[in-house]
Structures are given as structure tokens and as C-alpha cells.
Amino acid sequence: MLSAIKDMNIGLLYMFPDPSVESHLVLATAAFAGLTLKRVIIQCGEEKEEKYLKKFPSGKVPAFEQDGFFLTGGTTIAYYLARLAPECGLIPSDMQDAALVDQWISFAEHELDMKIDDLGNEQAEIPMFYVLHLMERGQGAISRLSEHFVMRFYVLGEQLTLADIVITSVLTYGLHKPEKYGIGQYHQRMVEHPKLAPVFSENSLRPNLAAYDRARAIEYPEDDDEWEDKSQSESESLYQHTWRWAI
């Protein structure tokens, strides 16, 4: 039964032409599990159309369709694909190991992803004091990750799991130079894995930093004095920005 699943398209993956980190973690999961997805490329705005919303009421992208079954959210879809091929080992059978995988996926999504967005701001033309503030915030999450991999090949040691794919997707998409932060060997090991290399080598994986720089330069004043004149409420709202919106 499983071999039959691997020999056919198991479903449709709806994604934008310039895929997000979520789309790539789905593609990487499918590749590692030996599953084939048919990509359905939609243009920005199509996710708000009635035809799309009828299948995916949340209007989120990426989205997955399989014989009348519909899912949205990169990690949710990745979990489903990993469970379709349990022998691939992306989700450990041991309950405690599986819980650790969940823990590290949560870290990647809610701590690492946000902090890496902050580190990405070193690419933008914004005041240096703000860049330093963001870098300080980001170093905590990166340092924790770096320390974890000092004596480990993967999150759980020798076994590559879904947590590694999520973390690597976030790193590849959001960090300009992983080696600069002490996680270069881990990142290289993952992106060069025979099953994952075709996905992580796609040119569209990295965001358009030039476009991001231009967008940030427009929103943030170059003059530090002008920046300091902004109200506290405006400054706080700017602190919430991440660079994914510009992709």
C-alpha cells in the first residue's frame, strides 16, 4: 500500500510562485518521505477568491488537497505527510522522542523564526541602534540552537526528524549566513542531505533581500534624529515588524 502511495501524486499543494518557508518545509517533508506532490501555483490574491475559499475558508497558503480532504498550514501539512510514511522516521514512534520533536518545532516556529526575522534586519537600511537591538534579541535563540548541536548531528542525536526539517527551513529562508552564528555545519549537513538537497537548492527558497532592503528603507527613516522623533506607539509597532511581509 505504501509503495503504491509513493508511486503516485498523493495530493495537490497550493503555493505562491515565490514560496514561503512553510511551502518549502512541506516540499522537504514530502521529498524525505518519498512522497510526490503536484504543485498548484496560485497568484497573490487568488487565495481570496470564492473558488479558493470554498476549499480553504481560512484563505491561507500553502494548502493541501487530497480527494476531498483539505488542510492549511505548513507544519500541519508536513505532519500529515510524515504520518503517511511512518517508516521514514520523521515522527518517532517513542512518545517521549515525539514530544521532543514537537517541542523543537514549537521553538522553530515561535522563537527561532521570529528572532531570525530580527537578525535579517542587519540587511536593511535602518538606524544602527535598532539593528543592534534586534541582533541582541536574535542571538539568544541562535545561541540555544548552536549549543544544542555541539554534540549532536540532529535534534534527537542520530535520527533526522520533522523538527530538523522545520528548523532548517527557517534557517535557510531567514538567515543570510548560518555559519556566522555557529550553526553552519548543521545547516550544511541538512541542505546537502541527498533527499533534501533538491528542495533546499531551489533558487526561490531565499527571500529577495534587495526588495526587502528597498521596502524597509522606505518605511524606516535614514536620519536617526527623525527616527527618535517618532512617537512611542509608532516605535513599538515598528518593533513588531518582520521581514516576511516583504516577500
Q: Find the distance separating the first CA and the last CA of the chain, reported in whole Å.
A: 39
How far apart CA 116 and CA 114 sit, in angstroms, is 5
Domain 2-88, CATH 3.30.460.30 — does that match? no
Q: What is the pLDDT of residue 212?
A: 39
Output the nine-digit C-alpha cell for 4.
503504491
Residue intervals in the chain for CATH 1.20.1050.10: 95-205
pLDDT tens digit sequence for 179-203: 766 788 999 999 999 999 999 886 5
| Predicted TM-score of the model (pTM) | 0.75
Q: What is the pLDDT of residue 183?
A: 86
Q: Which has the closest alpha carbon to 213: 246, 172, 170? A: 246
Q: How confident is the model at residue 247 (pLDDT cuts 50, 70, 90)?
A: very low
Residue intervals in the chain for CATH 3.40.30.10: 2-88
Which class would CATH give 95-205?
mainly alpha
Q: Is the per-residue pLDDT at 240 higher than 80?
A: no
pLDDT tens digit sequence for 4-31: 455 568 999 999 998 788 999 999 999 9
How far apart CA 169 and CA 163 sit, in angstroms, is 10
Output the nine-digit C-alpha cell for 158.
542520530
